[in-house]
Amino acid sequence: MPTVAAASDLKFALEEVAALFARDTGHTLRLVFGSSGNFYSQILQGAPFHLYLSADEEFVFRLADAGKAVDRGRLYARGRIGIMVAHGSPLRADGQLKDLAAALQDGRLRKFAIANPEHAPYGKRAEEALRHAGLWDAIRPRLVLGENISQAAQFATSGSAQGGVIALSLALAPSVAQLGTFDLIPEAWHQPLRQRMVLLPGAPPPVRMFYDYLSTPAAQAIMVRYGFAMPRD
């Protein structure tokens, strides 16, 4: 089956888009979600994916430079991060991270979740935001690292941590939103999440159709509903 490797911040939005695509075209795609960096490594090693949706465009550019992509792809969205805390957590969802700073001082914070910055773009942006707030060194011993941003969201809402930095697109999903409260972190506190997709060699026609479908008003309306900003360039 045609297979799409997608950053895990896309889980809820892309599932909706793919369902609409299947209804409109009759083509069903296999969606696989994970960290952008891990998919990048797998594609370099020949993983049988046909379309790659990365949360960081640099991975797409690197694939293109290595001759592992059809071209340099297309920007499909810009993402946002924020702080999520579960109901009953001693933390407050404060995007300025002032309550998080206080919790580090007064002992309320035991564990805090982010995606692994080594290979997950949303984890890297979380690190940048925490550094901007001057909290990185103090919070590092308390971090619980998710393999991807979906796992970080699970940690932040399940009691495995008192809170975490997650993707807005996950926080807006009803199944996640009901678990706690969320507040956006200022976009200026981190590098932009410029999310780029690219076709991979051998992509069959249904995947090429889906690649174009993601730029249609119907698909973009779903993405916007999940908090993504559409490309300006």
pLDDT at 232: 76
If asked whether residues 89 and 72 sit together in one domain, one would say no
CATH number, domain containing residue 167 = 3.40.190.10
- Specify the residue for token string 């297979």: 3
Say if 181 falls within a structural domain.
yes
| Residue 101 forms part of a structural domain | yes
Q: Is residue 151 a part of any domain in this protein?
A: yes
Angle between helix 217-225 and helix 11-25 axes, rounded to 10 deg: 160
Counted domains in the chain: 2
Whether residues 65 and 90 share a domain: the answer is no
Residue 233 lies in a domain: no
Closest among 209, 194, 216, 158 to 36, alpha carbons compared? 194
pLDDT in tens, 59-111: 999 999 999 999 999 999 999 999 999 999 999 999 999 999 999 999 999 99
Nearest to 33 by CA among 53, 47, 48: 53
Are 63 and 135 in the same domain?
no
Q: What is the pLDDT of residue 231?
A: 87
> How far is Cα 63 from Cα 55, in angstroms, rounded to an integer?
14
Range of the domain at 138: 80-189
- Give the residue ranges of the chain where pLDDT is below 70: 233
Q: What pTM does this model have?
A: 0.96
Residue 233: what pLDDT?
59
Q: Check whether residue 108 and residue 20 sit in a common domain.
A: no
Same domain, 31 and 95: no
Closest CA to 219 of 10, 4, 57, 3: 10
Residues 52 and 124 in one domain: no
Q: Is 173 a domain residue?
A: yes
Whose CA is closest to 120, among 161, 164, 162?
Answer: 164
What local confidence, expressed as pLDDT, does residue 141 receive? 98
